[in-house]
Amino acid sequence: MSYLSNIDPEIADLIEKERQRQTHGLELIASENLVSRAVLEAMGSIFTNKYAEGYPGKRYYGGCEFYDVAENLARERLKKLFGAEHANVQPHSGTQANMAIYFATMECNKDRLMSMSLSQGGHLSHGSPVSFSGKMYQVTQYGVDLETEVLDYGVVEEIARKVRPKVIVCGASAYPREIDFKAFQQIADGVEAYCMADIAHIAGLCASGVHNTSVGVVDFTTTTTHKTLRGPRGGAILCDQENAVLVDKAVFPGMQGGPLMHTIAAKAVCFKEALRPSFQEYNRQIVKNARRLAATLMDRGLRLVSGGTDNHLMLIDLSDRGATGLEAETALGKAGITVNKNTIPRESRSPFVTSGLRIGTPAITTRGMKEGEMEQIGELIAVVLQDLHDEGTIRRVRGEVAVLASRFPIYPD
């Protein structure tokens, strides 16, 4: 960082402060992870200097020979990881991967999209009125059963038959249970709709066989590369060969200009890492850790949405404690435990306040923490949630968090 410190000490200082925050705290945001040094190096490389509009072998700029090799490596590795026929690694983000599928399959201001509502676990880009997706398409949303707090596929099918959408989206940002991708594709087939699975959160789990996979099952799979896949921030799309041209055209020139080639190089590194057997072991541990953390929180009297978790995340329902998600996020943040407030199925508060907390284990599992540490973290969270305004407890927990974090360095030398 010596060049940066000389040219822009303000930014260098902020990066150093963030390094300290990540090092001494616990990152429990379910959508985050910690990339390897190799991924960081590829991302911070001179690959950022080049325009490479188009695809390998068909670029609109000269000098792309090394970029073609890198993008092909990324595509082939991602295909191998998921057993897919076709991969597009150019979307700049998960939202843009979803946008590309909508562009590939639907007519703007005309066609109908069906998806899970944001307040019950879906994502903004699945048709929320404040997102392009809700403004450009006619959206109908399904949610979870309010008693069981899990998806009811019979109800999803009923809605699909009534609405007859062009695309049915499955996949979520805050759903702690396994999603049955086969059931969604069957429902879509029954109403002659496309099925798109957004596996942004659970991609690593799907690639590792810890969660059933959508690839080869649904028409289109989209993902981010920075969550359980543990790569650079970005998106990707997987589909069968018959839809390959449709998808590629929708990404470029349909939606994006020049691909972020430094990010694509870093995606290639991430996929290589994910093809190692240790990645499967890592994803198994993510789920074991989530289960143990969930059990500890429930033992301490906290209510979890749907009564637990099958994946990497859980939702704490604070509504019976008279506390809001915002207050809980703030108190835990002061204690060095980073989480995010989240709506829960019977939400009565605004998305900025909420009655829930979303907690995930990908980043702490990357640090090497296991079930024993999950019990300790569960206890620390429960103690803070006991009295959100007890500054003495928050200070004590912060000290314990720092000691725990120091045993699991992010980038051990």
* Binding of residue 123 to ligand PLP (CB under 6 A): yes
Q: Tell me the number of residues near ligand PLP by CB under 6 A.
A: 14
Catalytic positions: 51, 53, 198, 224, 227, 233
Q: Which of residues 65-94 bind ligand PLP (CB under 6 A)?
A: 93-94
Nearest to residue 35, comparing CAs of 359, 362, 413? Answer: 362
d(CA 285, CA 204): 12
CB distance 300 to 364 below 8 Å: no
How far apart are CB 161 and ligand PLP at their closest, in Å? 25
Q: Which of residues 146-185 bind ligand PLP (CB under 6 A)?
A: 171-173
User: Burial letters for 133-155: b for 16+ Cβ neighbours within 10 Å, e otherwise?
Assistant: bbebbbbbbbbbeeeebbbeeee
Stated as kind and residue range, the H or E segment containing 3 is helix 2-7
d(CA 81, CA 96): 21
Q: Give strand ranges (E) for 143-231.
A: 167-170, 194-198, 220-224
Nearer to ligand PLP, 133 or 365 (CB): 133
* Binding of residue 214 to ligand PLP (CB under 6 A): no
* Binding of residue 119 to ligand PLP (CB under 6 A): no
* Binding of residue 230 to ligand PLP (CB under 6 A): no
How far apart are CB 220 and ligand PLP at their closest, in Å? 13
* Binding of residue 201 to ligand PLP (CB under 6 A): yes
Q: Which of residues 282-301 bind ligand PLP (CB under 6 A)?
A: none
How far apart are CB 219 and ligand PLP at their closest, in Å? 17
CB distance 91 to 235 below 8 Å: yes
d(CA 5, CA 178): 46
* Residue among 70, 139, 200, 286 that touches ligand PLP (CB under 6 A): 200
d(CA 36, CA 270): 8
How far apart are CB 323 and ligand PLP at their closest, in Å? 24
Tell me the one-letter amino acid at 94.
G
* Binding of residue 31 to ligand PLP (CB under 6 A): yes
Nearer to ligand PLP, 201 or 211 (CB): 201
How far apart are CB 40 and ligand PLP at their closest, in Å? 18
Nearest to residue 239, comparing CAs of 214, 270, 207? Answer: 214
d(CA 40, CA 42): 6
Interface with ligand PLP (CB under 6 A):
31, 93-95, 123, 125, 171-173, 198, 200-201, 224, 235
